[in-house]
Amino acid sequence: MNLARWRRIRGLIRKEMAQVVRDPSSVLIAFVLPGVLLFLFGYGVSLDATAVKVGVVMESATPEAQSLVAAFRNSPSYEVRVGRDRRDFEEDLVAGNIRGLIVIPATLTESLRRGDAVTAIQVIVDGSEPNTASFVQNYAQGTVANWMVQQSFDVGRSRSIAPRVSTEPRVWFNPEIQSRWFLLPGSIAIIMTIIGTLLTALVVAREWERGTMEALMATPLGTLEFIIGKLTPYYLLGMGSLAVCVVVSVTLFELPFRGSVFVLVLVSSIFLITMLALGLLISTVSKNQFVASQIALVVGFLPSFLLSGFVFEISSMPLPIQTLTRIIPARYFVTCLQTIFLAGDVRSVLVPNTLALVAIGSVLMLLVARKTSRRLD
């Protein structure tokens, strides 16, 4: 009897594998889309404002002003255009050609010489891009501070204009603060969501739509066997794509991998099974590919993208939305992945997040087992 059961499951898995390879929309979801996403996150998009275009207005070309301009020019953070009048740049700021404007007043040299208590350098930023804007401000601060230290050395003034308290930042896990290191683990979570939820929802809904489900139900195949037979191939597919993503990220995009493979596989499995259960649930409820694909996008993909902390900071969201993110499995998985890749097997992060995943997964599985009935009515 057990042998027969195993054979049924194996038959179902074999069938599923053959179908994935032959159906163009499965190929699209399982292979093309993950490839595009991995490429875009690994290579394309970035949050690092390197070489931000800024304008520097030098109202008078005194040596001090020129050396400050040079300081901005030499900074890798900027791509500088220098002008003499701020009005030259205002239109560029409106058009988005520059993201910031640094105005070195004509009075700079004069007030430094006089030893004025405060000399103001204006930093005007394009507030319509708040993230870039805060980078421009931060960079400007750093550049000016460094310049002042430099100045006080050069001039050897008795009364230093160097800041009294300076900061020494040390960035752990990601010393060069590359956003790619932060985005790539997250994108793996997105890819696994797509395979787990969207693909699974579509294939099971297709069985309903084409009437093959009815034929399966009239065979000795049991509910549990059906669920296992459906989940296994997509589980393997998901883990396969995880493997590819990890290898590509580590070799091609030089993402460090500081955790252990065992933990990665364990946590990923739990997440993937949760998402597969969600996919099965969606398809069982909708029984129609069109509806299933839409629900999968709204319930699976969009939250994994927007509410998982993958790009956007959960702690900055309003409280109700933060609460909402607690039921999004990707939220826990993204945290785990970022930790496993960049920090290592940190128990204090992995254990609670994995437990949360297990809890959500169990609830979904229970619902699936309940909804996957052996009858049509």
Partner 1 sequence: MILRLRALIIKELLAILRDKRSRLLLVVPPLMQMIIFSFAATLEVKNVSLGILNEDSGQASNELAQRFHASRTFRHITYLKGDAEVAPLIDSQGAILVMRIADDFSRRVESGQPASVQFILDGRRSNAAQIVQGYASQIVSRFSEELASSVPGAPSVKLLERNWFNPNLNYVWFTVPSLIGVLSTLIGLIVTGLSVARERELGTFDQLLVSPLKPFEILLGKTIPSFLLAYCEGLLILGVAVFVFRVPFNGSVLLLLGGLAVFLLAIVGIGLFISSLARTQQQAVLGAFVFMVPAMLMSGFATPVENMPPWLQVVAEGNPLKHFMIIIKGVFLKDMPPAIVAANAWPILVIALVTLGAASWLFRSRLE
Partner 2 sequence: MPEVLASIQGVSKSFPGSSVPALDNIRGEIRAGEICGLVGADGAGKTTLLRLLAGLMEPSEGRITITGLDSVDDTSAIHERIGYMPQRFGLYEDLTVVENLHLYADLRGVVNEERTEAFERLLRFTDLARFTERLAGALSGGMKQKLGLACALIRKPRLLLLDEPSVGVDPISRRELWKMVGDLVDDGIGVVWSTAYLDEAEQCDTVILLHEGHLVHNGPPDDLTQHVEGRVYLVRGIAEDQRRQVLARSLREEAIIDGVIQGKSLRLLVRVGESLPNLPGTAEVTKPRFEDAFIDSLGGGPGGESALAAGMTAIRSGDGTPVIDATDLTKKFGDFTASDRVSFQVHQGEVFGLLGPNGAGKSTAFKMMCGLLQPTSGRAKVAGLDLKTATSQARSRIGYMAQKFSLYGDLSVRQNLEFFAGIYGLSGARKRSAIERMIETFNLDAYLKTSAALLPLGFKQRLALSCAVMHEPAVLFLDEPTSGVDPLTRREFWNHINGLVEKGVTIMVTTHFMDEAEYCDRIALVFRGRVIASGSPDALKSESIPGREASLEEAFIALIERELGKTEKGAPA
Residue 78 is inside which H or E element, if any?
A: strand 78-83
Question: According to the binding rule CB under 8 A, does residue 304 interact with partner 1?
Answer: no
Contact flag: residue 95 with partner 1 (CB under 8 A) = yes
Give me the long-range contacts of 303-307 (CB less than 8 A, separation at least 24): 303/328, 303/330, 304/189, 304/190, 304/193, 304/328, 304/329, 304/330, 305/190, 307/331
Residues 6+ apart with CB under 8 A from 304: 189, 190, 193, 310, 328, 329, 330
Q: Taking the complex as a whole, how short is the minimal distance between the CB of residue 276 and partner 2, in angstroms? A: 20
Question: Which span (109-117, 217-225, 228-236, 354-362) binds partner 1, by CB under 8 A?
Answer: 109-117
200 contacts 26 by C-beta, under 8 angstroms: no
In the bound complex, what is the minimum distance in angstroms from residue 141's beta carbon to partner 1?
6
150 sits near partner 1 (criterion: CB under 8 A): no
Q: Which of 220, 262, 318, 320 binds partner 2 (CB under 8 A)?
A: 220
Nearer Cβ to partner 1 (220/320)? 320
Task: Return the number of the residue (3 or 118) whose C-beta is nearest partner 2.
Answer: 3
Residues 327-366 that bind partner 2 (CB under 8 A): none
- What part of residues 190-219 is at the interface with partner 2 (CB under 8 A)? 210-212, 214-219
Look at residue 172 and give the partner it binds from partner 1, partner 2, none, a contact being a CB closer than 5 to 8 Å depending on partner kind: partner 1
Q: Which is nearer to partner 2, 12 or 102 (CB)?
A: 12
Given 222, 269, 301, 369, the residue binding partner 2 (CB under 8 A): 222
x-marked contacts with partner 2 along 23-52 as a string, rule CB under 8 A = x-----------------------------
Candidates 14, 27, 155, 175; binder of partner 1 (CB under 8 A) is: 175
Residue 135 CA to residue 142 CA, distance in Å, equals 11
For residue 76, give the H/E element and its range.
none
Instruction: Tell me the C-alpha distance between 74 and 93, whole Å.
Output: 22
- If you ran DSSP here, which 8-state letter would residue 308 be given? S
**Two tokens, residue 267:** 């946590």
Residues paired with residue 57 on neighbouring β-strands, in sequence order = 83, 103
Q: Does 307 bind partner 1 (CB under 8 A)?
A: yes
Among residues 307, 360, 364, which one has the least CA distance to residue 335?
A: 307
**290 forms part of the interface with partner 2 (CB under 8 A):** no
Among partner 2, partner 1, none, partner that 156 touches (CB below 5 to 8 angstroms by kind): none
- The binder of partner 1 chosen from 244, 266, 299, 311 (CB under 8 A): 311
Q: Which is nearer to partner 2, 229 or 361 (CB)?
A: 229
C-alpha 200/C-alpha 185 separation (Å) is 22
**2-21 binders of partner 2 (CB under 8 A):** 4, 7-8, 10-12, 14-15, 18-19
* Cα–Cα nearest to 213, from 309, 269, 286, 133: 286
Min dist. Cβ of residue 69 to partner 1 (A): 14
54 binds partner 1 (CB under 8 A): no
Nearest to 52 by CA among 125, 121, 151, 120: 125
- Residue 272 CB, shortest distance to partner 2, in Å, is 24
Asked if residues 222 and 5 have their Cβ atoms less than 8 Å apart, the reply is yes
Nearest to 31 by CA among 191, 233, 202, 196: 191
By CB under 8 A, what part of segment 16-35 binds partner 1? Answer: 25, 28-29, 32-33
Burial of 297 (0-12, 13-18, 19+ CB in 10 A): middle
Residue 240 interacts with which of partner 2, partner 1, none, CB < 5 to 8 Å by class: none
> Structure tokens of 172?
């752990």
